[in-house]
Amino acid sequence: MARWWVCGLLSLLAVAAAAAAAEGNAEPLIRLPTQNEHDATAPAPAPSAEEEEVTRWAVLVAGSSGYENYRHQADVCHAYQILKRGGLKEENIVVFMYDDIAKNPANPRHGVIINHPKGKDGVINQRDADIFFMWKRYEQLNAGSEEKLRALKEIKETVAHRKHLDTSVDFIGKLVFGFEKGPSMLRAPRSSGQPLVDDWDCLKRMVRVFESHCGSLTQYGMKHTRAFANMCNNGVSDTEMKEASAGVCGGYNSARWSPLVLGYSA
């Protein structure tokens, strides 16, 4: 269950900032997308008397859970330290994140969350983060151990589910749009200036119908969002989606990937 955290109460979150500051690698400011580095490092103007009386708040959110999403909570904690050093009071920084990283059994530094903005972390696609994490963990386990065998099984099951998602979405598209037009209809981009989907409630229903029959999309499967949006934009009904999903995924054992366990993606 998610907990409401105020990071100032957790000493472990100060470790990252202290280590980074000691090495001179800490990010000094949080910049807006419209600001460049020169603007951000320029001295801030002195606050007016009216501004000094205003209470400033910050809300930081890490919406994901699971040790494979370590980076999300680490980034929030790093942002917390930056805001604190910038003068924002601890009691005015509200942080929402899951309590499943610092003391996770997979964490090699138990009780500590580290964020090093210039560390040698490598760059991987967000969709592949879970596989990357599982493989790195597999490499570190003792050869021949039961734990290593379970880790390998988890990797194989995850890869198999990814393939299942790809083939299922593709086949459903062929059923609702026809075998010739299906693939192109699912991938077709909209004209410039148009939203991804006209009816967001429809998109939510399409995703939930699919997941109910075919299992959770997971982070990897979110790449198929355009396909579900295009079904809505082209008038595919809930009934058609249910029939197609049931026909394609009716024999799939999705127990581990059930949205009742993992939650719906939309």
State how far the Cα of 242 lies from the Cα of 229, in Å rounded to an integer: 15
Rg (CA), the chain: 23
Q: Which CATH architecture has domain 146-262?
A: Orthogonal Bundle (1.10)
CA 234 to chain centre: 28
Specify the higher pLDDT residue, 37 or 244.
244
Prediction pTM value: 0.64
Residue position matching structure tokens 């939309």: 266
Residue position matching structure tokens 């009742």: 260
| Residue 27 pLDDT greater than 90, yes or no | no
Assess contact for 151 and 135: CB atoms under 8 A.
Answer: no
Residue 53 three-state SS: coil
Pairing assessment for the beta strands 3-5 and 93-97 based on DSSP bridges: antiparallel
Confidence of residue 32 (pLDDT cuts 50, 70, 90): very low
Please give the structure tokens belonging to residue 1: 């269950």
Confidence of residue 46 (pLDDT cuts 50, 70, 90): low
Residue closest to 252 by CA, chosen among 155, 164, 191: 164
Alpha helices for 86-145 (secondary structure H): 129-140
Check residue 47 and give its pLDDT: 59
Sign, CA torsion 252/255/256/258: positive
Provide the strand spans (E) within 6-130.
Answer: 58-61, 93-97
Greatest mean pLDDT range, 68-77, 112-121, 222-231: 222-231
Tens of pLDDT along 248-264? 999 888 788 999 888 89
> Which residues does residue 5 pair with via DSSP β-bridges, in sequence order?
95
Average pLDDT over residues 232-237: 97
Average pLDDT over residues 66-74: 79
- 77 exposure class (CB count in 10 Å sphere: 0-12, 13-18, 19+): buried
Residue 119 three-state SS: coil
Assess contact for 132 and 125: CB atoms under 8 A.
Answer: no
What lies within 8 Å, CB to CB, of 98 at 6+ separation is 2, 3, 62, 64, 65, 73
Q: State which amino acid sits at residue 68.
A: E
State how far the Cα of 203 lies from the Cα of 245, in Å rounded to an integer: 15
Mean pLDDT in the chain? 80
Average pLDDT over residues 129-157: 89
* C-alpha distances out from residue 100 to 1, 65, 233, Å: 9, 7, 39
Residues of the chain with CATH 1.10.132.130: 146-262
| Residue 177 pLDDT greater than 50, yes or no | yes
Tens of pLDDT along 99-118? 788 888 777 777 877 776 45
Specify the higher pLDDT residue, 170 or 40.
170
Check residue 33 and give its pLDDT: 45
